[in-house]
């Protein structure tokens, strides 16, 4: 018995299979087949070619250059700075006009610092008993001391301003004190601002010049209107009527990002400006337009957190007539703007077109295969249709071993009697 089976398997290697087309008069399977065909055709035409533009070659390696320029002045009158006029050289950092720029809206000034010895914790920070928000003067815990031995000489104060000198300074009748440090004295004030100094920065404008290039198609464009009218950029503002006037009010940018400028100006934050270029190069170049979107990148819901806002420090140095170096320390709060550019360009190419058409034809074949499974295995008369589709033909030299149910000549009634 085993030898017969192996012989049959060996002889089957030399069999040849050819297709046999059977027209099945079954309306349910026929409707299913047409629905599958129409679905595949709709996917191929609607999604692949219309929505995804599968007939195009694409270039996502966008080359971009961003230049920014701010305009606006503000006037302030404070006890520390007196009357002062602020222009772009004062509040824009860095001044080069890069894709990331910072607009200062608030600041804490510590003037006339010089290198000397002084208390690490200033007299404005009392060393009293703990409170719910302050452990004595726990703004710098490493500076707290009870005796001189608590301030080892030469040791830097953790999160402080200088190096310990070995002395513990105390107020009169106080048990606890603060370490004396060698630092830029007086040390920086630790108070937070109560209102933005440059609240009028909301009306400042920023000019964002963006040049892009798609190297594969050698296509270049700018987001500025090509005009010889020198007064155009001096009077226009970005809007749907002027999409090629990239001059924005800072207040509008923050509002479009879903935030309030005056609240954000108090302690700072980060705004993202997204420029999107999606270009169909089969159309006229005038149809390739930039699209702007704005979002707040820092966590606006953490305004009460100790890490909320955006700030940094810088100093301005000078020397008096006696040759002593001084500096004015500025802790700047403000809004950082990140300009991000991305995009994609597409143009007709025969290669992706042929590939997608071939994929669609392959899906048509998969649809026919699915309907064959339904016809031959899932409906009630599947045995009858299998008998019609698969027929074994043998030469006269070999005995016919075909089953009477599979010779393709039975009717459904005959199959029911088997």
Which residue shows structure tokens 């700047």? 332
Query: What is the pLDDT, as a whole number, of residue 21?
Result: 72
3-state secondary structure of 103: strand
Q: Report the run of H or E that residue 213 belongs to, with start and end.
A: strand 205-214
List Cβ neighbours of 282 (8 Å cut-off, separation of 6 or more): 56, 346, 347, 348
* The two three-digit tokens of residue 49, written as one number: 């070619």
Cα 26 versus chain centre, distance: 54
Query: What is the pLDDT, as a whole number, of residue 7?
Result: 74
128, β-bridge pairs: none
Query: What is the pLDDT, as a whole number, of residue 300?
Result: 66
Please report, for residues 139, 161, 400, the alpha-carbon distance to residue 269 in angstroms, rounded to integers and kept in the order given.
23, 25, 86
Query: What is the pLDDT, as a whole number, of residue 12?
Result: 73
* The two three-digit tokens of residue 264, written as one number: 């954000």
Query: What is the pLDDT, as a whole number, of residue 401?
Result: 42
The rounded distance, in Å, linking the Cα atoms of 49 and 46 is 6
The rounded distance, in Å, linking the Cα atoms of 308 and 107 is 15
- DSSP secondary structure, 277-305, as one string: EEEETTS-GGG--EEEEEEE-S-GGGTTS
Query: What is the pLDDT, as a whole number, of residue 6?
Result: 79
Q: What is the pLDDT along the chain (418 residues), one digit of tens a residue?
A: 567 777 777 777 777 777 767 777 778 888 888 888 899 999 999 999 999 999 999 999 999 999 999 999 999 988 778 899 999 999 998 888 889 999 999 999 899 999 999 998 865 444 444 433 333 345 788 999 999 999 999 999 998 899 999 999 988 878 889 999 999 999 988 777 788 999 999 999 999 999 999 999 999 999 999 888 888 888 899 988 888 999 999 999 999 999 999 999 998 999 999 999 999 999 999 999 999 999 999 876 655 666 678 999 999 999 999 999 999 999 999 999 999 999 999 999 999 999 999 998 888 888 888 888 888 888 887 778 777 777 776 665 444 444 444 444 555 554 444 4
List Cβ neighbours of 181 (8 Å cut-off, separation of 6 or more): 117, 118, 119, 120, 143, 157, 160, 161, 162, 163, 164, 165, 187
Please report, for residues 84, 87, 90, the alpha-carbon distance to residue 75 in angstroms, rounded to integers and kept in the order given.
6, 9, 12
Q: Report the run of H or E that residue 266 belongs to, with start and end.
A: helix 261-267
């Amino acid at each position: 018995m085993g030898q017969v089976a192996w012989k049959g398997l060996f002889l089957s290697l030399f069999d040849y299979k050819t297709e046999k087309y059977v027209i099945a008069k079954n309306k349910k399977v026929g409707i299913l087949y047409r629905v599958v065909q129409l679905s595949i055709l709709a996917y191929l035409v609607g999604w692949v070619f219309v929505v995804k533009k599968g007939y195009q070659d694409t270039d996502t390696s966008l080359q971009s250059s961003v230049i920014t320029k701010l305009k606006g002045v503000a006037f302030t009158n404070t006890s520390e700075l007196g009357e002062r006029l602020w222009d772009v050289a004062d509040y824009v950092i860095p001044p080069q006009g890069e894709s990331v720029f910072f607009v200062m809206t608030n600041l804490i000034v510590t003037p006339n610092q010089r290198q000397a010895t002084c208390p690490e914790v200033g007299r404005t920070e009392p060393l009293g008993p703990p409170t719910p928000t302050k452990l004595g003067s726990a703004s710098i815990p490493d500076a707290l001391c009870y005796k001189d031995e608590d301030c080892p000489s030469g040791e830097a104060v953790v999160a402080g301003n200088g190096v310990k000198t070995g002395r513990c300074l105390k107020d009169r009748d106080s048990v606890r004190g603060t370490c004396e440090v060698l630092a830029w004295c007086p040390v920086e004030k630790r108070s937070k601002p109560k209102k933005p100094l440059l609240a009028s920065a909301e009306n400042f404008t920023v000019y964002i010049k963006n040049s892009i290039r798609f190297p594969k198609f050698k296509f270049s464009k700018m987001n500025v209107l090509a005009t010889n009218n020198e007064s155009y950029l001096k009077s226009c503002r970005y809007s749907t009527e002027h999409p090629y006037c990239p001059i924005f009010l800072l207040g509008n940018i923050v509002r479009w990002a879903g935030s309030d400028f005056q609240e954000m100006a108090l302690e700072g934050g980060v705004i993202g400006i997204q420029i999107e270029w999606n270009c169909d190069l089969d159309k006229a170049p005038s149809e390739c337009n930039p699209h702007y979107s704005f979002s707040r990148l820092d966590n606006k819901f953490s305004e009460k957190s100790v890490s909320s806002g955006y700030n940094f420090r810088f100093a301005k140095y000078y020397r008096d007539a006696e040759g002593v170096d001084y500096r004015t320390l500025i802790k700047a709060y403000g809004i950082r703007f990140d300009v991000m550019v991305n995009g994609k360009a597409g143009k007709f190419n025969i290669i992706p077109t042929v590939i997608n058409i071939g994929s669609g034809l392959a899906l048509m074949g998969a649809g026919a295969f699915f309907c064959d499974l339904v016809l031959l295995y899932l409906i009630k008369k599947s045995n009858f249709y299998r008998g019609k589709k698969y027929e074994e033909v043998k030469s006269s030299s070999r005995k016919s071993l075909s089953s009477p149910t599979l010779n393709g000549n039975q009717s459904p009634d005959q199959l029911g009697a088997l």
